[in-house]
């Protein structure tokens, strides 16, 4: 598991390295930098399973460190490293989007390894959930678009039908007026002449 360690305190960095090396269940490859800018540069060019991020760095401090990292690599799981007096800061970092926080000097190798593994799994679950939500939203949009097109087609069909019916009514009115006024005989009958469907006044008169 490839881990990016962003920690300017060399002593703390060495302790974390040793703690992870002790773990036999999982092999960790640790890349260590002391500045956030260097860490962000590596995240831009390499793939890391997790980021161990100190909140007190020479070029960044506090929650802004978490925000900048998330803005730069939103899919990278982050485990925040904080001092005992900054535990509330670690909790705030989790609310911002970090996966977990560790209090430096109070964790064992197994704690660090477990936090790293859990952070990775939680982040994967979040990414998959977000992808599923995005796909669902896309399907909803496509379905909505299909329904809108179908509704538009129905409205156009209905409008055409109304126009046709109106045209038919006008045509029937003109025919009736013409039939009533013409002096010639006009009638409509069945093919066997058994039923007279229509006869104009001239037909009736004659």
Q: Report yes or no: 72 and 44 within 8 Å, Cβ to Cβ.
A: yes
Ramachandran region of residue 193, left (φ > 0), alpha (ψ -120 to 50) or beta?
left
Q: Report yes or no: 3 and 52 within 8 Å, Cβ to Cβ.
A: yes
Which 3 state secondary structure label does DSSP give 155? helix
Residues 178 and 67: their CA atoms lie apart, in Å, by 83
Task: Please provide the average confidence, as pLDDT, over all residues in the chain.
Answer: 86
Residues 191 and 111: their CA atoms lie apart, in Å, by 98
Give tens-digit pLDDT for 141-198.
Answer: 888 888 898 888 999 999 999 999 999 999 988 888 888 888 888 888 998 988 988 8
Is pTM beyond 0.75? Reply is no
Section 11-36 average pLDDT: 85
In sequence order, the 6+-apart residues with CB closer than 8 A to the CB of 3 are: 20, 28, 29, 30, 31, 48, 49, 50, 51, 52, 116
């Amino acid at each position: 598991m490839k881990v990016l360690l962003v920690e300017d305190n060399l002593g703390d960095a060495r302790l974390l390295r040793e703690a992870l090396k002790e773990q036999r269940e999982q092999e960790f490859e640790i890349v260590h930098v002391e500045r956030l800018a260097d860490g962000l540069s590596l995240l831009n060019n390499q793939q890391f399973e997790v980021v161990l991020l100190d909140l007190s760095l020479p070029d960044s401090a506090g929650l802004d460190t978490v925000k900048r990292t998330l803005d730069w690599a939103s899919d990278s799981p982050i485990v925040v490293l904080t001092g005992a007096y900054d535990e509330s800061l670690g909790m705030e970092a989790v609310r911002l989007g970090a996966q977990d926080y560790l209090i430096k000097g109070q964790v064992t190798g197994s704690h660090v390894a477990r936090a790293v593994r859990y952070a990775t799994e939680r982040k994967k679950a979040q990414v998959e959930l977000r992808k599923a939500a995005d796909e669902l939203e896309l399907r909803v949009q496509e379905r909505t678009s299909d329904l809108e097109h179908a509704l538009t087609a129905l409205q156009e069909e209905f409008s055409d039908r109304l126009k046709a019916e109106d045209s038919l009514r006008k045509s029937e009115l003109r025919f009736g007026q013409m039939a009533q006024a013409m002096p010639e005989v006009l009638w409509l009958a069945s093919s066997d002449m058994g039923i007279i469907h229509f006869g104009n006044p001239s037909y009736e008169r004659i």
